[in-house]
Structure 1
Amino acid sequence: MTAEGWTIIGATIALVGAFTPVLMGIRRDLTGLTRDVADQRERMARLEGLFEGFIRREGRAPSHSA
């Protein structure tokens, strides 16, 4: 194998070694973001339920049935 071939192999190994921690950090950040979005979805659903209950309570007219 020529010197150029060994240089290409070495450079490839160096790039993979340099980018692996970066990619793992991005993956960790995306996992945290996914968790945050799920938490936000739960909070929004709770608020929507509260608003729906409030609107229904305010919108109902008193019944005059005896």
Structure 2
Amino acid sequence: MTAEGWTIIGATIALVGTFAPVLMGIRRDLTALTRDMADVRERLARLEGLFEGFSRRDGNAPSPSA
């Protein structure tokens, strides 16, 4: 194998060694973001339910023109 071949192999290993931890960190951050978004979705659904219950508390929602 020529020196150029070994250089290409070495550069590839160096790039993979450099970018692998970065990509794993990005994946970890995206996983945490997905989990946080699920929590926000649940909290928003709870607030929507509370608001619907509040607006229909007396059985009749007030008309917008009143």
SS of residue paired to 1:36: helix
C-alpha displacement of 1:58: 4.7
Gaps of 5+ in 2: 62-66
Structure 2 partner of 1:38: 38
Alignment of 1:13-32 (within 5 A): 13-32=13-32
C-alpha displacement of 1:13: 0.4
Aligned residues: 61
Q: Comparing both structures, which one devotes a greater share of its residues to helix?
A: 1
TM-score (norm: length of structure 2) = 0.86
C-alpha displacement of 1:18: 0.5
Task: Give % identity.
Answer: 85
Structure 2 partner of 1:64: none
C-alpha displacement of 1:60: 1.9
Structure 1 partner of 2:55: 55
TM-score (norm: length of structure 1) = 0.86
d(CA) in 1 for partners of 2:21, 2:32: 17
C-alpha displacement of 1:57: 1.2
C-alpha displacement of 1:32: 0.4
Q: Which has the larger radius of gyration?
A: 1
